Amino acid sequence: MDDKPINQKAWFLVLPVVVTVAFSAVVPLMTVVNYSVQDIFDPHTRYFVGTEWFEQILHDSRLHGALVRQFVFSLSVLLIEIPLGIGIALTMPRRGRWVSVCLVLLALPLLVPWNVVGTIWQIFARPDIGLLGRAVNALGIPYNYTGDPTDAWVTVLVMDVWHWTSLVVLLCYAGLQAIPDAFYQAARIDGASRWAVFRYIELPKLRGVLMIAILLRFMDSFMIYAEPFVLTGGGPGSATTFLSQLLTTMAVGQFDLGPAAAFSLIYFLIILLFSYVFYTALTHLGRGANR
């Protein structure tokens, strides 16, 4: 085994990915770093300002507000979508013709583009002509997402749950299907309860897909832009203005490229930290469980 020749040619297979990532991620990131330390007037007129934009952004109360809202939103999304996704996946049929029906129905929201989802919910939730808005008001519950911050928040959350829970369901369903029958047979012989089967067989086996689901949903919800932008425009006031919308306003609306670049880097560092913490925690949790 030791005299097996070492072949480094596999690196050439990785090369296309390296080149693609370099041009799609590394070069733009380097440009953003360059922009973040300069005052850019036009492509030929720019001045070095050091860390001024970072100081300005770090003391910006709009960023603080958007950051808090973003964390509350992402946390709410994870707390709702992950248990709900697991629950739905557990109740889905494992075999038979209904499997295809369920999978197609669940995949439908995922196929709708982000801005279309916002438009659908904007009309659906309108208190004057929308089915949801009129129905909720008819029940005697005052509801107006364009005027009330709580209603706006609930609507944005429900919209996200409608759009993305399917992803968690599909991932969990794939994970459940991969569990060999022998595990269930052993549990039946031992007289394990349904809860015990879930806790000691299904949940540990779902660790890998749950890690992917949590990471995807965290990163995606932390970068949410189109849906709340179309639905509420960040309002009422700034109640549903999340980080990406604030960043876009700064970069495209006000054309403050330097501060927007500094903002982007801080935003990137936050996502990087939380994704790494989630990934490390879940990976090491899994190692412990497999022991």
Partner 1 sequence: MEWMAWTLPTALFFVAVGCLLLGMTVLQLVWPTVERKGFLPMKTTRGDRLFIGLLASAYLHLAWLAFTDLSLWWALGLSVLLLAVVLRWG
Q: Is 231 exposed, middle or buried (0-12, 13-18, 19+ CB in 10 A)?
A: buried
Residue 280 sits in the site that holds partner 1 (CB under 8 A) = yes
Cβ at position 142, least distance to partner 1 in Å: 41
For 272, the token pair is: 């990087």
Residue 58 sits in the site that holds partner 1 (CB under 8 A) = yes
For 127, the token pair is: 């208190």
Residue 35 sits in the site that holds partner 1 (CB under 8 A) = yes
Residue 43 sits in the site that holds partner 1 (CB under 8 A) = yes
For 115, the token pair is: 């801005």
**Which residue intervals of the chain are DSSP H helices?**
10-21, 27-36, 52-58, 61-91, 98-111, 114-124, 131-138, 149-177, 181-189, 194-197, 203-205, 207-222, 226-231, 243-248, 257-290
Residue 131 sits in the site that holds partner 1 (CB under 8 A) = no
Angle, helices 207-222/257-290, rounded to nearest 10 degrees: 170
Residue 19 sits in the site that holds partner 1 (CB under 8 A) = no
Task: Indicate which single residue of 24, 25, 41, 55 sits in contact with partner 1 (rule: CB under 8 A).
Answer: 55
Task: Indicate which single residue of 154, 197, 226, 266 sits in contact with partner 1 (rule: CB under 8 A).
Answer: 266
CA distances from 131 to 123, 136, 156 (A): 8, 9, 16
Residue 106 sits in the site that holds partner 1 (CB under 8 A) = no
Task: Indicate which single residue of 18, 19, 25, 33 sits in contact with partner 1 (rule: CB under 8 A).
Answer: 33
Cβ at position 239, least distance to partner 1 in Å: 25
Cβ at position 206, least distance to partner 1 in Å: 21
Cα(16)–Cα(11) distance, integer angstroms: 10
Cβ at position 124, least distance to partner 1 in Å: 41
User: Which residue has 């919910």 as its token pair?
Assistant: 121
Cβ at position 38, least distance to partner 1 in Å: 6
Q: Which is nearer to partner 1, 37 or 125 (CB)?
A: 37
Residue 46 sits in the site that holds partner 1 (CB under 8 A) = yes
Residue 101 sits in the site that holds partner 1 (CB under 8 A) = no
Among residues 247, 274, 277, the alpha carbon closest in space to that of 57 is found at 247
Among residues 256, 83, 227, 214, the alpha carbon closest in space to that of 145 is found at 227
Q: Which is nearer to partner 1, 37 or 251 (CB)?
A: 37
Cβ at position 69, least distance to partner 1 in Å: 19
Residue 38 sits in the site that holds partner 1 (CB under 8 A) = yes
User: Which residue has 């897909």 as its token pair?
Assistant: 209
Task: Indicate which single residue of 68, 174, 272, 289 sits in contact with partner 1 (rule: CB under 8 A).
Answer: 272
Residues of the shown chain interacting with partner 1 in the complex, contacts defined by CB under 8 A: 27, 30-31, 33-35, 37-38, 40, 43, 46, 48, 51, 54-55, 58-59, 266, 269, 272-273, 276, 280, 284
